[in-house]
Amino acid sequence: MILNDISFNHQLKGIQKRLKSIILAKKIDYRVSQRALLKFVSQLHWCMGADRFKGFVSYGFYKGGFTTTKPAPFESPKDYMFGSGSMAACDNCSSLSCTKCPRCEKPHCFDCFWNKLHRC
Ligand SMILES: [Zn+2]
Ligand SMILES: [Zn+2]
């Protein structure tokens, strides 16, 4: 989708960077293979479909000049998913979480969220 390219790619890169630093810091055995990348993209796509990111998506249209209504302020996907409340006990396995699910709003660890593709 070209309209959202700038902001979407910006978010995607930011999230990818954040995940890489989490993997390094926690020494998670997670090689960034083609398969892992596909998983990551599919999980991220699922996240972006969350209601709370509607403002972010419509901002892309606004910025591109396709709509004139400025969307209400919103939290960027990266800030939401890795911001306050993302570091807690995983809702699934209670190990230290690193990502807050934009749909159920619960914290999840790397394995449960990104590796096992959390759905709720
Ligand atoms: Zn977990
Ligand atoms: Zn969830």
115 CA to centre of ligand 1 in angstroms: 10
Cα separations (Å) of 113 from 3, 39, 118? 28, 11, 5
52 CA to centre of ligand 2 in angstroms: 13
| Exposed/middle/buried for residue 108 (C-beta within 10 Å: 0-12, 13-18, 19+) | buried
The phi and psi torsions of 57 (rounded to 5 degrees) equal: -70, -45
Domain that holds residue 90: 5-115
Per residue in 43-68, pLDDT tens? Answer: 999 999 999 998 888 888 888 888 89
Ligand lying closest to the C-alpha of residue 102 = 2
Mean pLDDT of all residues in the chain? Answer: 86
pLDDT at 7: 72
Residue 71 lies in a domain: yes
pLDDT at 16: 85
| pLDDT grade for 30, boundaries at 50, 70 and 90 | low
Angle at 103 between CA 101 and CA 104, to 5 degrees: 75
Angle at 88 between CA 82 and CA 94, to 5 degrees: 125
pLDDT at 32: 66
Tell me the two tokens of residue 17.
């960077």
Residue 40 lies in a domain: yes
Residue 108 lies in a domain: yes
Q: Is pLDDT at 8 greater than 80 in this prediction?
A: no
Cα separations (Å) of 46 from 24, 49, 50, 95, 119? 24, 5, 7, 23, 9
Residue 58 lies in a domain: yes
Residue 29 lies in a domain: yes
Ligand lying closest to the C-alpha of residue 88 = 1
| pLDDT grade for 116, boundaries at 50, 70 and 90 | very high
114 CA to centre of ligand 1 in angstroms: 10
Residue 13 lies in a domain: yes
- Residue 100 forms beta bridges with which residues? 107
**Total of domains in the chain:** 1
Helical pair 5-26 and 54-63, crossing angle rounded to 10 deg = 140
Tell me the two tokens of residue 72.
């209400």
Ligand lying closest to the C-alpha of residue 95 = 1
Residue 120 lies in a domain: no
Residue 109 lies in a domain: yes
